[in-house]
Structure 1
């Protein structure tokens, strides 16, 4: 068989112009046509395949589609997972994770290659799942999400407890039962899926939803959260290993108790939470103390308080009795002051009697000088001196005339100094707001209002500003020098 089909001119493969071979009716295929034929052939032959490989170059587009590559030691296969299938993934795809992908092969004519359209993707065995878990844990731990200094202390006695779990499982019943036994509390349940598709998103949304509640709002904000579910395999508990759940717990403003699984089950949520409980029942025990123990403790404190108070009173009473026995009796204390009082009373009696005798002697000596004729003579002399004191009318008249002349002089001086005396001759007196008489234009221009005192009344005016006064003043002086205004005297400008 020749390598090239024969040509009519038998020029061989090096012909310049393509020519139709005799008897050949087939037209040459276009690139689009050959690509479509290849696409149809590949899709018909590989309409359903399951491949195993390691993820590489995982990239999620803004549209929600997932682009990646599957590789092993000897080959590489591009892949795409559309948005609807991505939403059903049970884990977060990352580079290096070994998976089993189910879908169909197709071609991509734009780059002349083939790829797999993935409809379902699962982690290839528990070993790969544990490898992914270790990788995620190392990455989140490097970010400090599991650091011990981020852990917060749980409230001693929370008033409201938030629980994130399934409403139909045994977890919520165990928690409520244990709380009722230890310390009945207000519990708010946020129902979520704890396994399967969408569980991680619901758990993360519940934790963030509790943290977004406002204190004092219509829905009380919990003081502590319990995130939990029952035991199960690593696949059953996988949603609590999702990065979205771990970050929500680490960022929660409310302290979180993780109660996922039983005893030996450990998830990344346990590392991010403030406390880890081996079981949901243990989480309830961590959240609240035992009410009976608190009552017993309070009762013991009250008893100790009463004993302390009583002990102090008893000791004080004993000390008082001892000291009271050492005190002298009231009679002994009053004997000496009573004797001193009796002596003072006796001295007072003797002193009063002696003073009365001395005063009697003095009275008798004075009584001789207080005779009635002597008093009458002194009264008569006083009347004579009073009658001798007579006023001379002439002296009073002269004094009144002198004072009248002085008063007339003062009145004339006051009239000449009165500033309003010249108002009748056409003058005006200017005063400011405080009533002071203004004598200069600078004083008048500084006032907000002026009062003009005329002969027949007052007039309130407002002064112009200084520029207006300076502009108008020369005009008035020029008018005063006109010949025809000589017959009518013009008053001088009040503002200079």
Structure 2
């Protein structure tokens, strides 16, 4: 373009579009290429290094790798330790520990940072506190103070709980609040120092003091002891690593819970106690169950008991219902018979109609006439004349039948119940006409009938009737003695 500046000049002053120039050996590198060059350079130069510093920001990834930072008073470097190497560590890395890390330096191109890939991690010279702590732990463990066989089982529902802690800290308030929420319990607090000079002796004395309380005394003996303290540094928690505290907890006949520090803090008291709690609040949760849960459990047991008691009845009902459902309905049982009855009735109706129709047809076909009747009469006479009847045969038949009739007549006379009445006997029957055969049966009847040869008489058994009974016979009047007959005597007309 005329008049426009020329950006493609050859003086090397640059232009709008980057172009390769002849003889130029400074070709542009990509970010990945320069990152890889830096990575190889650092790894070749620092392929094996040992760094001493303080751990900071230690964290474990879900994959098992550990990420941290090593620092001193002037600089800091990131570090990473892969999963296979972390599994070989003999201690738990924590913030603030001074360590010696062995590994190689490398770069992380994704963030343009350099870091150390740690192969091994060691404590830096065994500091005074850590060395003393480890030696004490090994010595007490060798004595068996931390053995699982010495651990006691915690009571399910302690009536009295003893707490060894500072009376002014937040720990005792958390414990009391959690116990009140879960299951209100009688709590005895033994106030002690939890930090500083003399704290270990006070804690040990408190544990032994709870153990020395006699059951049934003015002060109730705890069923469970909680040794608690809030979080802090290793120096703050050192009182609970003292041998006197560890031995007091291990020798305590009352089950104990150690709740020293936060979840990541570990002291020798935790090893000696029967149960370790990550926090004081968790110790209160371990000490007592939730009353609402217990009530719900009891109600569930009662419900299950009722269900168990009613289950046989319910099963019986279900079986009865199932068997009743399998039974046929009454109308279903009668349906075939009803259908058969209808079929037979219809067949009978049709049969009668057919029979009447056929009779009507035969009657119409017969065409009765005097000549036909005369012919039938003549044929009947011929058949009668053809029968050769013998008068002697008829006589014998008549004599045989007459003899049978005489026998039956004599048998009837002998079995006639009225015949004995002619000889002076009587026959007694009840109101329904049944024959009365014994005095006992007659005594139970209200009315009797006595049959004589010349008639019947209604009577009432003695002792059963009433004077007003119309069927009761009046007593026969006694005959009066007649006066001697004399000239002036006159017979009584009524005798």
Which category describes the TM-score, using the shorter chain as reference length? 0.3 to 0.5
> Scaled by the length of structure 1, what TM-score is found?
0.39
> Scaled by the length of structure 2, what TM-score is found?
0.39
Question: Comparing both structures, which one devotes a greater share of its residues to helix?
Answer: 1
